[in-house]
Amino acid sequence: MNTADTTQQGWGQEPTMNAIETVMWRAETDPTLKSTMIALEVLDRAPEWADFVATHERAVGAVPRLRQRVVEPPLGLAAPHWSTDPQFDLHFHLRRSTLPAGATWQGLFSAAEQIAMTPFDRARPPWEATLVEGLPGGRAAYVLKLHHASTDGAGTLQLMQVLHAAAPVAGRDGADDALPPAAPVTAWKALGAQALDAARSTPSAARRGGDVASRVAASPGKALRDGLRYGLSLRRVLSPPPAAPSPLLVKRSVNWRYAALDVDLASLRAAAKVAGGSLNDAYIAALLGGYRRYHEALGRPVRAIPMAIPISVRRDGEGGGGNRFATARLAGPVGVIDARERIVAIGDLVRTARAEPALDNIAVLAPVLARLPAPAIAQIAGGMGRSSDLQASNVPGSREEVHLAGARVERLYPFAPLPGCPAMITLVSHLDTCCIGVNYDAAAFTEGELFLSCLEAGFTEVLALAGPDAGAATWLR
C-alpha cells in the first residue's frame, strides 16, 4: 500500500473539531483572524478541465471530509461537528479562471490573495479549488483553499498526496472508490451526540483517574517532582519572550500580501551544516536577517523580536489530517549580525523550547478557551497572535515528481494565515527546492517591496556560508 492510500484511509475522520480547531473556527468573528490556508501549485501546463474535475471526484470519494460542512451546536455549548452536506455540489467547489494577456506571476498572487480573503460559505464544506490559466510560459496554477480548522500544514500535504494520486487512470472512473455518504447531522443532534460521548467516556476517565492516583500513591515523591517540573515549564512557555514587539509592525488589517521565494535545498542545508545547525535553523536565521535589514533601512533597528514557531507533534507516518501542533515562542536574535552565530543561537533556542515539558501547552489552554463565547475567543486569541512579530513554519514536502490531473507539479508554495501577526512565512521542500510562501500584512509592512528585498538579502547572507557555488534566492515575479 502506498503513502497516499494510507493517508486516504484516515484523513479527516474525527466527527468533531478539537479545541484548537474550535478556537480557529470561532475566532473569525474578528476578520483579522481569518484562518484561510492556500496551497498553490505551479503546473507545467493547464490540465484538461474534464481531467481536473475527475481528479477531484476521485478525491472527494476517497476523503469524506471534503463532503462535510460544519454544524454549530446551539449556543456554542459543544464543539463544532462535521456533518455530510446533504446538498453537496462539487461544481460549487471547483473554479476556473484565466489571467489577462501578458499577466505576470504577481497577477497570480493577487488573484490568490483575493481568493484567500473571500470568506467561506459556512453552509458548505470549507474548501475550494481554482485552476488558474494564462501564466507565463504556458503554465497554469492550482490554488487549493482550505480552512485551518480542517487541518494543519502537514495534514495539507497529506491531502495533496491524495489529489496527486487521484489523477485519472485509463479505463477507470473512480466510482468504485467512492464511499457512501453518512447521514447529515443537525445542530441539536450534534449537541446530543457529544453529550452522549461525554457520558460514555466518564467510566474510562474515572479509571484513568484511578490509575493516576495509584501511581501517585506508589511514588508520591516522583509525582510531586513531575508536577513541579511541568508547572515551572508551563510558567516559562506562557511568559512572553524577552523581546518587545517592533514599533514598526504594530498595525493590523485584513489586507494580506503574497510573495514566493525559491531557495536551493542543498545549498541551504550546506549553509546550516557549516554552522552546525539544521535546515530549519538556517531558514529562520535568513528570515531574521531580513527583519534586521528592514528595520535598519527604516531607521528603527531592533535587537530581538518576539516570534513563534509551530512545531508538529504528529508522529512519523501518522495520517488523519486534523491539527497536531504545538507552538514555541522565542526571542528571535535579530541583533546577531554574523549569520553563522545567528544559526547557532537559533538552534540553541529551538532545542530549549522543544525540551520544555509544557511545549504542548496549547492542548491545555485551548479546551478552556474554546468554551468561551466567540467574541471572547477572538479577543484572547487575537491578543496572543498579535504578541508575535513573525511566525515561521517548515514542512517537509515531496522529493519525488508528482502530477495533478496529468500536469506536472513544478512548485508548491504554502500560504498560511496570519493569526494576528504581521507575517507568516512557510517553507515546503519540493524536489530540490525550498518553496517559501510569504504572507504579510500590508498595514504592518508599509514598505512591502523593501521587506521582500530585505528577506532576499537575508537568504543571500546565509547561503554565502555554503561557498561560492551556492544557489541564489530568487523571487517568482
Question: What DSSP line would sit under 79-138, residue for residue?
Answer: --EEEE-TT--HHHHEEEEEPPTT--HHHHHHHHHHHHHSPP-TTS-SEEEEEEE--GGG
Q: How far apart are CA 150 and CA 186, in angstroms?
A: 19
Crossing angle of helices 265-274 and 279-297, rounded to 10°: 90
Which value, in Å, is the radius of gyration of the alpha carbons in the chain?
23
Question: What DSSP line would sit under 448-464, residue for residue?
Answer: HHHHHHHHHHHHHHHHG
113 with 256: CB under 8 angstroms? yes
Is residue 148 annotated as a catalytic residue, yes or no?
yes
Q: How far apart are CA 18 and CA 13, in angstroms?
A: 12
291 with 275: CB under 8 angstroms? no
Torsion of CA 245, 251, 255, 257, to 10 degrees: -40
Among residues 56, 93, 147, 148, the one annotated as catalytic is 148
φ, ψ of residue 92 in degrees (nearest 5):
-70, -30
φ, ψ of residue 342 in degrees (nearest 5):
-70, -40
Q: Measuring CA to CA, how many Å separate 211 from each of 178, 204, 217, 225, 423? A: 43, 10, 10, 18, 45
**DSSP annotation of 393:** E
HSE of 153, CA atoms in CB hemisphere, 13 A: 26
435 with 428: CB under 8 angstroms? yes
Q: List, by residue number, the catalytic residues.
A: 148
